[in-house]
Structure 1
């Protein structure tokens, strides 16, 4: 019995050691970080990524309008089944924001979900989509972020209880769900659709809201953009594929115009959380909005993900 107990104890210790190693935060390889650091970021190009990425929607103060949306003091609350996540200050302030970060630290956050302290970020921060961004776009976005106004507003802690407040456990979640692979495989060769796929699956992170999730927060892989329950409990997030009723009758031109103007083909207007998204999309070029529309029309049809 003593030998059995000893053996079980050693096995438990070994298992815990393996789990500890497997769940460790995995920053980008040093060679890639060096390559990103060597890029001369273009702030003008980075502004496009800023709007495509919806940075102001979460990181501007709640209710901010106009130029105040460029003050990224944080404070927006994101409700979920795992707790409430509060967007932090990501302004260029060196103490309260990310003004003291290097471009390598920014790249690790955006592409690997790893903080400058070497901790996992919660995927309420959509690095699970941003990981598809190119190194050039990361450098350009960082260059633009450094031009924004500083804010000294302190970030608030997330309202997350046990066991979800154990960040190390996110390493296991990443092993299951974190990937930079395309969300869908489409027939190649159309540059417009490929650009749309990059914008939607990468910086635009549309799937973060429009795709249903399993009980531990991972995407239902075969239900991409098919719609989902609204995490705040009010209604549903629409199905964006040709198989749903939400926009299946819209032309690509209708979709692009909606992203630009906020008006639907039947003269209704954008509402809910999509208001901020549409404001961001209106800042893109018409070519990028057309590309997003072309990608959505090329998706495989899916039934409603919330049913």
Structure 2
């Protein structure tokens, strides 16, 4: 009996040790490789950082709710999901409440690995699964631009997550399964404009994060990427943005680019809801970038759009 108990205790200890090892942020770095950070002699490109900021729609989630100035990134928005409610944090340059005390390396690691400067996992409601595609140089530029914005005092409330989702350490296992650590690689056989569009859509734009179905673990289903899915906040269906007839099939590149600038569809309708905030950000991009995104979206494989079960 004592031997059986000792074996059981030993197995439990091994399990705990294994869990702690596999869920450590350091374990992810060992498996995926260490993230590179631009050298200290490089001068960030603030203009490029501004473009990436609006391409990423940072104001859509991080602006202080119900305030007109969308560049006040004090957070506080409550993002509801099947896993609980996430309260979007302050990412203004405030040194205590925001990210003003971060280094460029801290920011790059957060965006590519989903790890805070104090070594905690971020939940993937923060779409680092897309931001990992961005180059360290672009992330450096983005951080430099964000540091020019006004600091905002105040912190968002803690997330409201039931067990086991409130065990943040478990995100380490999720990352090993679903965060590949790959930076976007241009396709040499494609035009430069299409590669630019692919980068903006899949990296800073993180379009698939909303426009795709997810599995039971909350990860994107690759075979359903961009084909739409249920609204994570339970408010209907997020539309298909592939060139299938149930999506943007039959649209021209100009029509897609116009939607990204004005929110107007070819049927003289106007997008609403959270997409309205996306359009407000996309309208700040150069015309060439919106055209590039449209070109890429129209090159996607055609996929039947998501239909909500009756």
* TM-score scaled by length of structure 2: 0.92
Question: 2:46 aligns to what?
Answer: 43
Shift of 1:274: 0.2
Question: 2:3 aligns to what?
Answer: 3
Shift of 1:253: 1.1
Shift of 1:265: 1.0
Pick the aligned partner of 2:56 from 53, 56, 68.
53
Q: How does 1:149-188 map to 2 (within 5 A)?
A: 149-181=150-182, 188=189
Shift of 1:172: 0.9
Shift of 1:89: 0.9
List gaps (5 residues or longer) in structure 2. none
8 A Cα contact 1:197 1:292, kept in partner: yes
Shift of 1:306: 4.3
For 1:254 and 1:42, how far apart are their aligned partners in 2? 31
The answer as to 2:89 corresponding to 1:103 is: no
The answer as to 2:194 corresponding to 1:217 is: no
Question: 1:190 aligns to what?
Answer: 191
8 A Cα contact 1:36 1:104, kept in partner: no
Render the CA deviation track for 1:70-114: whole Å, top value 9, x for unaligned: 110111111001111111111111111111111111111111100
Shift of 1:37: 4.5
Question: 1:22 aligns to what?
Answer: 22
Q: How does 1:87-166 map to 2 (within 5 A)?
A: 87-166=88-167
Distance 1:31 1:293, change over 3 A: closer
Q: How does 1:199-278 map to 2 (within 5 A)?
A: 199-278=200-279
Question: 2:67 aligns to what?
Answer: 64
8 A Cα contact 1:230 1:237, kept in partner: yes
Shift of 1:244: 4.7
Question: 2:36 aligns to what?
Answer: 32
* TM-score scaled by length of structure 1: 0.93
Shift of 1:11: 2.7
For 2:60 and 2:35, how far apart are their aligned partners in 1? 33
Distance 1:185 1:41, change over 3 A: closer
For 2:39 and 2:208, how far apart are their aligned partners in 1? 26
Render the CA deviation track for 1:132-178: whole Å, top value 9, x for unaligned: 00111011001101100111122221112221111100011111111
Return 97-106 or 243-252, whichever deviates more: 243-252
Kindly report the root-mean-square deviation, in angstroms, between the aligned alpha carbons of the 2 structures.
2.1
Shift of 1:48: 0.3
Shift of 1:250: 1.1
Distance 1:37 1:218, change over 3 A: farther
Shift of 1:55: 0.6
For 2:43 and 2:185, how far apart are their aligned partners in 1? 32
Question: 1:280 aligns to what?
Answer: 281
For 1:138 and 1:38, how far apart are their aligned partners in 2? 15
Shift of 1:189: 2.4
For 2:7 and 2:288, how far apart are their aligned partners in 1? 64
Aligned residues: 304
SS of the equivalent of 2:70 reads helix
SS of the equivalent of 1:298 reads coil
List gaps (5 residues or longer) in structure 1. none
8 A Cα contact 2:246 2:304, kept in partner: no
Shift of 1:30: 6.3
